[in-house]
Chain A
């Protein structure tokens, strides 16, 4: 790729990236595809770590609107159309078959055109325009109708069916099964793919729209470097060169034109600085019942005879199981009868089974405390971020009010919006620092991390407190300057923290309590991370 410089200029201000059409052609070449065993051409990720120390947490990406996506496809189709002298409709089918790898298509086609055409469902004869025909004595093999004047249709394989059956078949494929690029001839055992022009002829207008939408989808879904923005109703796609196998080295947060910030690796909302694998584990840990189990093991014991779970609810160590009436000592779990009269001073403390039980309990308690420490902070920031969001919805009102009261212009009150944005982003980052820290094994770098975390947290809390003051106070020009200073300080602290964590992650200097190159760093089925 030759567009690193372009990318860099784009990421320097991530909030106002506009798709630059002049770059689009750059994206068409050099990508790899999973099903072709080629070494991954480097899209500049590892290179960037060396070059771009200043913004290690920030990765290059590009947003494409639907028109851009269409344009890219059209350009590829035109190129293939010109180079190979194949009609556009067939060029598109071939490109889809080759998952939009133009180079490979051209190479393969030059070598063995026959096999390529057959494999992608295109027969050999030059295409004649598809048309409906009325043939004498025709009977449709699907519905077995044979009326005079029955319109019929066949693609090149010659399997002919009446137009109604053909339409029914296509409607089912397009509408219900969401298929578009690879609909085969309705004949059993015939793998010929129905080309775009035949579809244009056959499907009803409302279905054509859906069909083209599905074709666009295959373009994005076939390419590993493209992903849809997951925000509801957002039609944009994002291109990013980060590979699944890089996800233990980088947290690829991207931001769409719709302002949704998400991780290109796992499609979840922005979770810097925590890598995808940790996020996945953390969310699972927080969602499932494992902590309930921890609580049980920390706070209860099992009756040594019947195994019923018992929570001690009084001070006396003489336990009688409600269920089996077994009497035992809560301290040592031994038989109560052996304690004689010295029950107040458990004399079997050193006994091994009792020791083991106590060890397990202590360990469990420590791990629970540790988890709760991080979880509470994580959850707290999550909640605060939500509240800040509500606040930001009120910000606009605040801004209008401020304008009225202070006589400032709309531009002049933008600092409130900036503060609100900063609060939300920083809170999200803070929230994930706690999930990150939970899995972080102590080494000499963790202290720096914790200092950064603390500094960011303090900056955020200061800003947050100030932001909640009444508008009348905020109009004061001294306070305005202070608020702006605090906002920029917050953003700066966040960047310092992200840079530090991202750089160390890229250099492999963190050690985690869990395996980061685990089996499921992302949601994709074929995982190489």
Chain B
């Protein structure tokens, strides 16, 4: 499937989607991407630069890519820690389709910075704040941008992305 990955990569680098630029940490490994994400100017996170680490499982595209924020972000759908896990329906294994494109996925992640989805939160407290006290949320989000998302993003994540072994038996229904 390296052909597919190569194509996706060239798609995303020759005409990159807005606010997204991709580098490979190792030229020999197409399965690990470093993505630098610049939020849209209207986003509350505008002014920051965010690092994403994309890990493609060995049986990609039949399994979903694994994407985490390597830059701390104050967001209802991203864990507020160094692991930076993202809650995005598209990235869940049961919703993933082999026909989905990484380009679309990255755009969706960027879209989360414009429109957080408090109904499906990873951080219930932040989601609650987003809904009820938007000013406080905005202030906190901006403060996080100032503290963590200035300058060149780092691509170090706390917990390594699970090496998608892909063979988790779901045979419980047998």
B100 within 8 A of A: yes
Do A145 and B3 have beta carbons less than 8 Å apart?
yes
Q: List, in ascending order, chain B residues with CB within 8 A of A188's CB.
A: 90, 97, 99-101, 104
B103 CB to closest chain A CB (Å) equals 11
**CB neighbors of A among B128-174 (8 A):** 169-174
Additional 11 contacts, C-beta under 8 A, given A141-B99, A168-B62 = A142-B61, A144-B3, A159-B99, A176-B170, A177-B94, A178-B170, A178-B174, A185-B99, A187-B100, A190-B99, A214-B173
Q: List, in ascending order, chain A residues with CB within 8 A of B3's CB.
A: 143-145
CB-contact partner of A143 in B4, B169, B171, B172, under 8 A: B4
Produce 1/0 per residue, B47-82, CB < 8 A to A. 000000000000001100000000000000000000
- Secondary structure dominating the interface of A: loop
With contacts A159-B99, A177-B170, A187-B99 taken as known, whether A144 is within 8 angstroms of B7 at the C-beta atoms is yes
A-contacting residues of B (Cβ < 8 Å)? 1, 3-4, 6-7, 61-62, 90, 94, 97-101, 104, 169-174
Closest to B171 in A: A178
B-contacting residues of A (Cβ < 8 Å)? 141-145, 159, 161, 165, 168-169, 172, 176-178, 184-190, 214, 217
Q: List, in ascending order, chain A residues with CB within 8 A of B174's CB.
A: 178
B141 CB to closest chain A CB (Å) equals 29
B85 CB to closest chain A CB (Å) equals 21
Q: List 7 A-B contacts (CB under 8 A).
A: A143-B1, A169-B62, A177-B170, A187-B97, A187-B100, A188-B99, A188-B100
A218 CB to closest chain B CB (Å) equals 11
Number of A-B contacts (CB under 8 A): 53
> How far apart are the CA atoms of A353 and B170 in the complex, in Å?
56
Q: List, in ascending order, chain A residues with CB within 8 A of B90's CB.
A: 188
Q: List, in ascending order, chain B residues with CB within 8 A of A187's CB.
A: 97, 99-100
Do A142 and B170 have beta carbons less than 8 Å apart?
no
CB-contact partner of A176 in B4, B98, B100, B169, under 8 A: B169
> How far apart are the CA atoms of A184 and B94 in the complex, in Å?
11
Q: List, in ascending order, chain A residues with CB within 8 A of B169's CB.
A: 176
Closest 4 CB pairs of A and B: A188-B100, A187-B99, A144-B3, A144-B4
CB-contact partner of A165 in B98, B104, B172, under 8 A: B98
Q: List, in ascending order, chain B residues with CB within 8 A of A184's CB.
A: 97
> How far apart are the CA atoms of A172 and B171 in the complex, in Å?
12
> How far apart are the CA atoms of A190 and B100 in the complex, in Å?
10
Q: List, in ascending order, chain B residues with CB within 8 A of A190's CB.
A: 97, 99
Closest to A171 in B: B62
Q: List, in ascending order, chain B residues with CB within 8 A of A217's CB.
A: 173
Interface centre among A178, A184, A187, A188 (most CB of B within 10 A): A188
Do A186 and B170 have beta carbons less than 8 Å apart?
no
Closest to A159 in B: B99
> How far apart are the CA atoms of A144 and B2 in the complex, in Å?
9
> How far apart are the CA atoms of A172 and B167 in the complex, in Å?
10
> How far apart are the CA atoms of A186 and B174 in the complex, in Å?
24
Q: List, in ascending order, chain B residues with CB within 8 A of A142's CB.
A: 4, 61, 98-99
Q: List, in ascending order, chain A residues with CB within 8 A of B97's CB.
A: 184-190
